[in-house]
Amino acid sequence: MSRSDRLWHWLGTFVRQAIVIVATIVSLFPVYFMVVSAFKTRSEYIANKWGLPVAPILENFVTAFAGEKFLIRFANSIILTVGSVSVSLIIACLAAYAFARMEFPGKRAIFNVLLSLMVVPPVVMLVPLFVSMVRLRLVNTYPGTTLIYVGLLLPFSVYLMTNFFRTVPREIVEAARIDGASSLGVFWRIMMPLSAPAVITLIVVNALWVWNELLIALVFMQKDELKTLMVGIAALRSKHYVDIPVTMAGLFIATLPIVVLYVFGQKYFIRGLVSGAVK
């Protein structure tokens, strides 16, 4: 390589590194801002908005915990997340099995409808859904809200599992058939055990979505003791006194489970989100 080539090469590397570093800083700054603010006193926040806290305090977390019934909200979010993710998983796997492994009239049409449901924004269905939920006395109940979440999670879940079930080699299924297994037997003893990676992926992606959801939780879980963490967080905005560090501490607590989950299950997160797009 000539000198100028080397210079260009070095410059190119430098520019790339610089661009990526800038992007990373921009990505992280709001998170950094949230974390450092959470450890500042109110007056320190006003004097020193973006620096590290000089004398970090934990009081904000105590206040945030006490004021917004965080533990209850936390528990509610967990109940809803676990409930809707597991129910939707079971229903989705059953349906995906039919889509992937069986032929029946209208299969394509049903599948297409399913796909188009993935993009329906929940806000448009809020009114009619609320009406039927009230009639069934399901407002302000875990099962009612879980049911809505299950419905909203299903299209993507069925789609993902269908794609995965299609990749299970035919030979394995046929071998089981010869052994005399019923279709349910094949499902239970062959498909499900083989699908562990896809299932984990689905759990992670769906849990993330339910945990972060605001609108449904806002309308269908109105009782104070039923509110979810996100609703509690959104309400921090309309408190009488605006205490930014306390708000940030609250946000920090609400975000922590996701970040921890992400750090430990990064592989599944990424695989899950990619799975729809990349084989």
Partner 1 sequence: MKRLSYVLAVVAMLVFAVCPAATQAAEPVKLVMWWWGEQEAPGAQKWLDETIQLYQKEHPNVTIEAVLQSTDSLIPSFQSAIAAQEGPDIQYVWGGVWTLEFVWGGGLAPIDDLIPAEELAHYINNFERTFEGKIWGVPWYLSGNPFVYNPSLFEKAGLDPQKPLETWDELIAACKKLRAIDVIPISGGLKDGWFGGWLYSILGRQPHDSVKDIMDAVVGKTKFTDPKHVEWWKRLAELRDAGCWNEDINSLDYQQGMDRFVQGQAAMIFGNDTFLKGWAETMGSWDNIGVMLVPKYANGKMANQYIVTAQGLGITSWSQHKQEAANFLMFLHTKDRLDAWFNYTGVLPADDRLDVSLIKQPQLQQVYQWDTTIPGPNLENFIPTMMDEQANFAGTQLLFAGEKTPEELAQMTQDVVDKWSEQNPEALENFTRWAQ
Partner 2 sequence: MCTGEIYKPFLKRADTMRYRPYEPWLYLAPMIVALLFVFGYPVARLVMMSFQRTSKGQEIFVGLTNYIALFQDEVFLRAIRNNLTLVLNVPVMVAVALLLAIFLFERIRGWRIHQTTLFLPYLLPIVVVGIIFSYIFQLSGVLNEALIAIGLPQLALDWLGSPKLALWTVMFVIIWKEVGLGVVLFLARLMSVEEELFDAARIDGANWWRLQWHITIPQLSTVIEFFTVISVITMLSWVFNYVYVMTAGGPGNSTMVTELYVYLQGFRYNQMNLAAAASVLILAITGVLIFVQFRLRERAGEEEVFA
Rule CB under 8 A: say whether 222 interacts with partner 2: no
SS (H, E, C) the chain: CCHHHHHHHHHHHHHHHHHHHHHHHHHHHHHHHHHHHHCCCHHHHHHCCCCCCCCCCCHHHHHHHHHCCHHHHHHHHHHHHHHHHHHHHHHHHHHHHHHHHCCCCCHHHHHHHHHHHCCCCHHHHHHHHHHHHHHCCCCCCHHHHHHHHHHHHHHHHHHHHHHHHHCCCHHHHHHHHHCCCCHHHHHHHHHHHHCHHHHHHHHHHHHHHHHHCCHHHHHHCCCHHHCCHHHHHHHHHHCCCCCHHHHHHHHHHHHHHHHHHHHHCHHHHHHHHHHCCCC
Range in contact with partner 1 (rule: CB under 8 A) among 100-108, 171-179, 229-237, 255-263: 229-237
Q: Which of 208, 221, 226, 246 binds partner 2 (CB under 8 A)?
A: 208
Rule CB under 8 A: say whether 259 interacts with partner 1: no
Rule CB under 8 A: say whether 240 interacts with partner 1: yes
Rule CB under 8 A: say whether 50 interacts with partner 1: no
Rule CB under 8 A: say whether 146 interacts with partner 2: no
* Residues 138-157 close enough to bind partner 1 by CB under 8 A: 140
Q: Which of 1, 55, 119, 196 binds partner 2 (CB under 8 A)?
A: 119
Q: Which of 3, 50, 178, 240 binds partner 2 (CB under 8 A)?
A: 50
> Considering CB distances under 5 to 8 angstroms, the limit depending on partner class, which of partner 2, partner 1, none binds residue 61?
none
> Considering CB distances under 5 to 8 angstroms, the limit depending on partner class, which of partner 2, partner 1, none binds residue 223?
partner 1
Our CB check for partner 1 shows the closer of 3 and 240 to be 240
- How far apart are CB 57 and partner 2 at their closest, in Å? 19
Range in contact with partner 1 (rule: CB under 8 A) among 79-87, 179-187, 220-228, 248-256: 220-228
Rule CB under 8 A: say whether 221 interacts with partner 2: no
> Considering CB distances under 5 to 8 angstroms, the limit depending on partner class, which of partner 2, partner 1, none binds residue 235?
partner 1
Q: Distance between the two ends of the chain, CA-based, in angstroms?
A: 39
